Amino acid sequence: MAESAQRRVERSLFLRTLFGGSRSGATLERVAALMRDVPFAAGEVIYRQGQASHQIYFVVAGEVVLGAPGLTPWTFGPGDGFGFQDAMQEAPYARTAQAVTPVHALAFSVEDWFDVLEGHPELGRGALADHSVSVAAMIDELGLALAFPRAHPAPAAAGLDRPVGLVERMLMLSDASLLVRAGIQAVAVLAQRSRPSLLSAGTPIARAGEARAGRLWFAGRGAVELRRGTEVGHAAPGSLVGSLAILARERLDADLVAATDALVLELSEDDVLDVMDDHFDLARAVFSYMARERARLMELRARVRAKSA
């Protein structure tokens, strides 16, 4: 009994430390109650590549390495979470997780996580904010060109003289990488609230230093560039310009420019968060996107660091 009360307090302290004061204590206590302590011996395999990803883990103490053939290993220490990427994407674990040293971790079922998120939207908003800060830091380290490479030349937006109707907006948003797993109902509401802009090649959408004021931009048709000094990043059709890192920027740190004739959909961050509250499929889609984005950037960063080491 004594150990269990102490354990619970430790878990609670760990979560409150990790997630900070912006989350309600009651919410964090609920999360803490759903977690369980799991110890791993040095060298022990926590999960294997290819296994179903039902669990998310937080490292309380020790070191964990995630590896797979052909991929640069990732190392996680105290306070880091792992297993998220795959669980959020509802995909099998892409890497094998192994304890490097004796590890004390907290395990959490991914469905319990979604349960809590749905009942406590502020937790989701907080997770999104944390993610955007961490992704912004990775992008700053990598530079715009590496972080937002040109995938393939995007055709210029054609048919700029046609109305940008509801269906077209819905199609653009439903194909957007951020929203690809969202339900049509959520996409329809976002399409309704979006504001389309048709821009000729070279027209700025917004300038560096400008207050973002809660705006988000989706590259609908044509291509958009992020320009910061000599750095140039690319946003292909269907992408969220600047990725979710843009949520961490109160003021833009790069010019957003139409690289070709382009159609851009502008949405407010508040609208997206509002719709997430009511359409949990959208929240899951956003979390899945967060996981993919994070995995991509972590892999890039690991390769860059390995090269320079």
Partner 1 sequence: MTAVDSKRSPRFSLIDLRAGERGPLLIAASTLFGLVAAHSLLETARDALFLGQLAPTRLPIVYLLVAALGLGLTDLNARFIRRFGRRNALVVTLALFALGTTWFNFRPVTAGLAIGLYVWSALAGSLSVVQFWLFAGEAFTSAQSKRFFPAISAGGVLGAVVGSAMAVGLLALLPVGSLLLAACVLALGTAAVVAQTPEPEPTAPRDLSPAPALGGSARLLAEHGYVRRVAILVVSSTLAVLLLDYLFKSQAAARLPKEELGPFFARYYGALNTAALAVQLLLAGRILRRFGVATALAVLPLSLALGSAGVLLLGGSFLALLFTRGADGALRHSLHRVSAELLYLPLDPALRDRAKPLIDSVLGRSSQALGAAALLALASFDLATPRVLSASVIALSLTWVVTALMLRRPYLDLFRQSLGRGVDAAELNLDDLDLGAAETVIEALSSPDPARALAAMNLLADAKRSRLIPALILYHDREEVLLRALEVVPEARREDWVPLAQKLLDHPSERVVTAAVRALGRFGKLPQMARATGALRAFLAVERLSRAGDEHPEEDPEICRMLAGDTPDCQHARAALAGAIADRKDVAFSRLAQRLARFEEVEVADVAIAALGAMGSTADLPFLIRCLDVPRHRARVVQTLAGFGDRALDALEAALTDAALSPRIRRELPRAIGEVGGERAAKLLFDALAADLPGLVRFRALRALGRLVRNEGVKVDRPRLEAELIRNLLEALRFTALEAAFDPDAVVPDAARASQRLLAGLIADKQRQARERAFRVLQMLHKNEDLRSVYFLLQSDDKRMRANALEFIDALMLSAKDEPRALLRLVVDDLSPSERVERAEAYLQGRPRTRHAALAAMLGDLDDALATLAAYHVRAQSVAELEEEAGAVFSQRRWVPLETVPPPLVHDGGGGG
Q: Which of 87, 117, 176, 198 binds partner 1 (CB under 8 A)?
A: 198
Which parts of 69-108 interact with partner 1 (CB under 8 A)?
108
Nearest Cα residue to 222 out of 208, 207, 206, 238: 238
Is residue 129 part of the contact set for partner 1 (CB under 8 A)?
no
Q: How far is the CB of 42 from partner 1 (least distance, A)?
A: 25
d(CA 246, CA 290): 13
* Tokens encoding 228: 């910061």
Q: How many residues does the chain have?
A: 309
Burial of residue 149 (CB within 10 Å: 0-12, 13-18, 19+) is: exposed
By beta-carbon proximity to partner 1, the closer residue of 80 and 299 is 80
Q: Which of 85, 174, 239, 243 binds partner 1 (CB under 8 A)?
A: 174
Q: Which of 50, 92, 155, 165 binds partner 1 (CB under 8 A)?
A: 165
Is residue 111 part of the contact set for partner 1 (CB under 8 A)?
yes
Q: Which of 66, 97, 138, 188 binds partner 1 (CB under 8 A)?
A: 188
Compute, in degrees rounded to 10, the torsion defined by CA atoms 218, 222, 226, 232: 150
* Tokens encoding 260: 């070709």
Is residue 192 part of the contact set for partner 1 (CB under 8 A)?
yes
Tell me which DSSP letter residue 211 carries.
B
Tell me which DSSP letter residue 246 carries.
G
Cβ atoms of 293 and 244 closer than 8 Å: yes
Q: What angle separates helix 269-278 from helix 184-193, to the nearest 10 degrees?
A: 150
Is residue 12 part of the contact set for partner 1 (CB under 8 A)?
yes
Which parts of 29-48 interact with partner 1 (CB under 8 A)?
29-30, 32-36
Q: How far is the CB of 281 from partner 1 (least distance, A)?
A: 8
Tell me which DSSP letter residue 248 carries.
G
Tell me which DSSP letter residue 251 carries.
B
By beta-carbon proximity to partner 1, the closer residue of 3 and 69 is 3
The site for partner 1, by CB under 8 A, has a size of: 63
Is residue 184 part of the contact set for partner 1 (CB under 8 A)?
yes
Radius of gyration (Cα) for the chain, nearest Å? Answer: 21
Helix extents (H) in the chain: 2-19, 25-34, 84-88, 110-119, 121-142, 144-147, 166-175, 184-193, 269-278, 280-308
By beta-carbon proximity to partner 1, the closer residue of 115 and 140 is 115
Is residue 167 part of the contact set for partner 1 (CB under 8 A)?
yes
Q: How far is the CB of 152 from partner 1 (least distance, A)?
A: 22
By beta-carbon proximity to partner 1, the closer residue of 67 and 78 is 78
Which parts of 251-290 interact with partner 1 (CB under 8 A)?
270, 273-274, 278, 281
d(CA 87, CA 291): 8
Question: At 99, is the secondary structure helix, strand, or coil?
Answer: strand
Q: How far is the CB of 18 from partner 1 (least distance, A)?
A: 8
By beta-carbon proximity to partner 1, the closer residue of 72 and 268 is 268
Is residue 26 part of the contact set for partner 1 (CB under 8 A)?
yes
Question: At 226, is the secondary structure helix, strand, or coil?
Answer: strand
Interface with partner 1 by CB under 8 A: which residues?
A: 1-2, 5-6, 8-10, 12-13, 15-18, 20-21, 25-26, 29-30, 32-36, 108-109, 111-112, 115, 119, 122, 160-168, 170-171, 174, 183-185, 188-189, 191-192, 196-200, 202-204, 270, 273-274, 278, 281
